[in-house]
Structure 1
Amino acid sequence: MKIQWLLIAIAVLFAGCSPTETTTDSQPASVAAAAAAPASDGIPRTPSGKPDFNGIWQVMMNANDNLEPAAPKAAYQLVPGDFIPVPHPEVVAMGAVGAVPASFGVVEGGTIPYKPEALARRDENAANWLANDPEVKCYMPGVPRATYMPHPFQIFQSESAFFIAYSFAGAVRNVFLEDPGPAPLDSWMGQSYGYWDGDTWVVEVTGLDDRTWLDRAGNYHTYQLKVTERYDMVSENVIMYSATMEDPEIFERPWTISMPIYRRLEEGYELPQFKCVEFVEEMMYGQYRKGGEFEQRLRQEMLEEAQSN
């Protein structure tokens, strides 16, 4: 009799622990299915069923040279020559390494719709690229430029966070998942607010410092710029990226760029750190070193002042 009751007790215990249709009460059945089964479209997905962007990515084109279509040229900054423009004296020694390849162009419609008076500023920027491009000084690139610089970036995504770390200058973006309201102040990387539109990850960026440029060709913006990014995963290793720029101060209308972003597939690949500040210290501050150009100039001025007195 005791053995009979023991067998009945064991049977009841197993029945209570066996999975039933009600065991997914802690999360929706659709969530459990998405986590358990591979997506039929081949796109990696999170437990909630949204595209999973986790990974290291990079744009494999030279949009950073010029967003608009452009022919190749001898250097980023040219000066008048005897017959044609020639490289600026400070970059001429770089030869082919400093030359600029042709740009395919990523602007929908071909050209950026500058207002006439703003176009002159763009041309002035290009004519003074070496002194004015913030990339040369290793300033953070801003948005959208950080995406298509010739450096990779890494996306960290979860149900409660979306974070992007960039190789260039150690720039980072923490994307708010709830609208934080107006940016409290302008910054190099601005303020990002993201949300889902179906399977598209949309990020609105405001509060961008107007010292950032859009490329090496001098294309620029003002503090009024609003960037709306859209990330569409079209396959396991490709994201179609677009960014719409709105800046009524200098653009006649909103305009959009688009390009593919590719996953880095090297085994064991890690995001390289390109913290370039130390590489530009001599260029930016070398003159202030003891015995440097600034000190010599100051001593000469003091000497001339003493002699005049």
Structure 2
Amino acid sequence: MIKFVAALAVVGLAVTAPAMAQAQAKSKAAAAYKAPRGPDGKHPDLNGVWQVMNSAGWDIEPHAARAALQLRPGPFVPVPAKSVLALGAVGAVPAGLGIVEGGEIPYTADAKKQRDANRANYTDLNSGDPEVKCYLPGVPRANYMHLPFQIFQSEKSMIIAYEYAGAVRNILFTDPGPAPVDSWMGQSVAKWEGDSLVVTVSGMNDRTWFDRAGNFHSDQMTVVERWTPTGPTTIRYEATITDPNTFTKPWKMSFNLYKRQGEDARLNQFKCVEFVEELMYGDLRKEPLK
């Protein structure tokens, strides 16, 4: 028995060692990468159209594939997975390894109960996911939705334009002080640390979620982003979330962004307001649609 266990250990090492060595080699290569300089000649060029290749938009924590809740007229309530026959495969949530470092968000006990309630009723028009109503996604959610975004970087300024709902962020390099009012996308103040763009985002309201799985925050949240080029077509994105009203400690998410190439490197139009007008205001029609 001892010999058998030892043999299994040897096999396991033989399988994992090359993978670990490959990962370490990639990490060293990323650390050694020197990105082309941007318009100012000093800092990396982040210009381009970027997009994720993960399923964090559905759920930022590790998750198996599952049926989504069904959208239907009338009361917006969850339905059992077997009842989502009308949606078929398009109503499925793809599996994902998650982007939360450590795997689990450190909610307070009360906040976790609220997350569970959000998850059970995410299509509810009053208390559900703001994405259902085409509200702006907030930060960091805007960066890992299924639609791309474009960074415009000049010698003295930078903006990020998102395909989803035409959202825009103005990246400030001079701190104007506290945000005058809370907003959906917050206030972004940036600085360079070596080849990493570090952006502190504050002044966000409490109406945005992290994903479609009910993960949320309060209006006390601060996000510190790090955008680090790791190759000609990749950026390593990291965000540290601090919100003492919702979480027991700061936590971090991280993932890769990929640069779109060729004729695909452009933003299309996704003005989703027109898709939700009937959903939100259809009951006000004098003669409701059948």
TM-score interval for Structure 1 and Structure 2 normalised by the shorter chain = 0.7 to 0.9
User: In structure 1, how many angstroms separate the alpha carbons of the residues matched to 2:236 and 2:205?
Assistant: 26
RMSD of the alignment, in Å?
Answer: 1.7
Deviation at 1:79, TM superposition (A): 4.7
> Does structure 1 residue 122 correspond to structure 2 residue 115?
yes
Specify the code of the residue in structure 2 equivalent to 1:143: V
User: In structure 2, how many angstroms separate the alpha carbons of the residues matched to 1:271 and 1:253?
Assistant: 36
Specify the code of the residue in structure 2 equivalent to 1:137: K
The Cα offsets for residues 15-51 of structure 1, whole Å up to 9 and x where unpaired, read as xxxxxxxxxxxxxxxxxxxxxxxxx946221243210
Match of 1:86 among 81, 88, 94: 81
282-291 vs 238-247, which moves further: 282-291
User: In structure 2, how many angstroms separate the alpha carbons of the residues matched to 1:187 and 1:43?
Assistant: 33
Q: Identify the residue that residue 289 of structure 1 maps to in structure 2.
A: 285
The Cα offsets for residues 32-87 of structure 1, whole Å up to 9 and x where unpaired, read as xxxxxxxx94622124321000010001111111111011112246857xxxx426
Match of 1:72 among 65, 73, 85: 65
Q: Identify the residue that residue 212 of structure 2 maps to in structure 1.
A: 216
User: In structure 2, how many angstroms separate the alpha carbons of the residues matched to 1:268 and 1:86?
Assistant: 35
Specify the code of the residue in structure 1 equivalent to 2:66: K
CA contact (8 A) 1:42 1:236 kept: no
Specify the code of the residue in structure 2 equivalent to 1:56: V
CA contact (8 A) 2:190 2:197 kept: yes
User: In structure 1, how many angstroms separate the alpha carbons of the residues matched to 2:37 and 2:224?
Assistant: 23
Q: Identify the residue that residue 235 of structure 2 maps to in structure 1.
A: 239
User: In structure 1, how many angstroms separate the alpha carbons of the residues matched to 2:221 and 2:92?
Assistant: 30
The Cα offsets for residues 106-161 of structure 1, whole Å up to 9 and x where unpaired, read as 11111000001110000000000111111111100000000000000000011210
CA contact (8 A) 1:79 1:86 kept: no
Q: Which has the higher contact order (CA 8 A, sep 6+)?
A: 2
Match of 2:36 among 35, 38, 44: 44
Matched residue SS, 2:217? coil
> Does structure 1 residue 62 correspond to structure 2 residue 61?
no
User: In structure 1, how many angstroms separate the alpha carbons of the residues matched to 2:265 and 2:100?
Assistant: 31
Where in structure 2 are there 5+ consecutive unaligned residues? 1-31, 71-76
Matches within 5 A, 1:6-21: none
Q: Identify the residue that residue 26 of structure 2 maps to in structure 1.
A: none
Deviation at 1:162, TM superposition (A): 1.0
CA contact (8 A) 1:76 1:217 kept: no
Matches within 5 A, 1:22-171: 41=33, 43-46=35-38, 47-76=40-69, 79=78, 85-86=80-81, 92-131=85-124, 132-171=128-167
Specify the code of the residue in structure 1 equivalent to 2:252: T
User: In structure 2, how many angstroms separate the alpha carbons of the residues matched to 1:86 and 1:63?
Assistant: 21
Where in structure 1 are there 5+ consecutive unaligned residues? 1-39, 294-309
284-293 vs 199-208, which moves further: 284-293
User: In structure 1, how many angstroms separate the alpha carbons of the residues matched to 2:236 and 2:213?
Assistant: 24
CA contact (8 A) 2:78 2:121 kept: no
User: In structure 2, how many angstroms separate the alpha carbons of the residues matched to 1:264 and 1:42?
Assistant: 20
User: In structure 1, how many angstroms separate the alpha carbons of the residues matched to 2:63 and 2:166?
Assistant: 30
CA contact (8 A) 2:48 2:265 kept: no
> Does structure 1 residue 179 correspond to structure 2 residue 171?
no
The Cα offsets for residues 200-228 of structure 1, whole Å up to 9 and x where unpaired, read as 00010011111100001000000000000
**Number of residue equivalences:** 248
CA gap of 1:211–1:167, structure 2 versus 1, over 3 A, is same
Deviation at 1:266, TM superposition (A): 2.5
User: In structure 1, how many angstroms separate the alpha carbons of the residues matched to 2:171 and 2:33?
Assistant: 27
Deviation at 1:180, TM superposition (A): 1.3
The Cα offsets for residues 184-243 of structure 1, whole Å up to 9 and x where unpaired, read as 111111111011011100010011111100001000000000000000001111000011
CA contact (8 A) 1:63 1:105 kept: yes
Q: Identify the residue that residue 273 of structure 2 maps to in structure 1.
A: 277
